[in-house]
Homo-oligomer: A and B are copies of this chain.
Amino acid sequence: MKIIVSTNKKQDLIDITERVNDLVRKSGVEEGVCVVFVRHATAALIINENYDPNICIDFLNALNKAFPEHAGYLHDKVDNNAAAHIKAAILGPGETIIIEKGKLKLGTWQALMLVELDGPRSNREVEVRIIKTC
A95 to B58 alpha-carbon distance, docked (Å): 25
Q: Write out the residue numbers on chain B whose beta carbons fall within 8 Å of the beta carbon of A109.
A: 40-41
Fill in one digit per residue for A47-68: 1 if any B CB lies within 8 Å of its CB, else 0: 1110010110111011101110
Contact status of A52 and B33, CB under 8 A, knowing A62-B71, A67-B62: no
A37 to B106 alpha-carbon distance, docked (Å): 9
Majority SS at the chain A contact face: mixed
Number of copies: 3
Fill in one digit per residue for A94-120: 1 if any B CB lies within 8 Å of its CB, else 0: 111110000001110110000000000
Number of A positions contacting B (CB below 8 A): 59
Q: Write out the residue numbers on chain B whose beta carbons fall within 8 Å of the beta carbon of A105.
A: 37, 39, 127
23 A-B residue pairs with CB within 8 Å: A35-B98, A37-B98, A37-B105, A39-B105, A39-B106, A39-B110, A40-B109, A41-B107, A41-B110, A46-B92, A47-B89, A48-B85, A54-B75, A54-B82, A55-B75, A55-B86, A57-B74, A58-B73, A58-B82, A62-B71, A105-B127, A129-B133, A131-B131
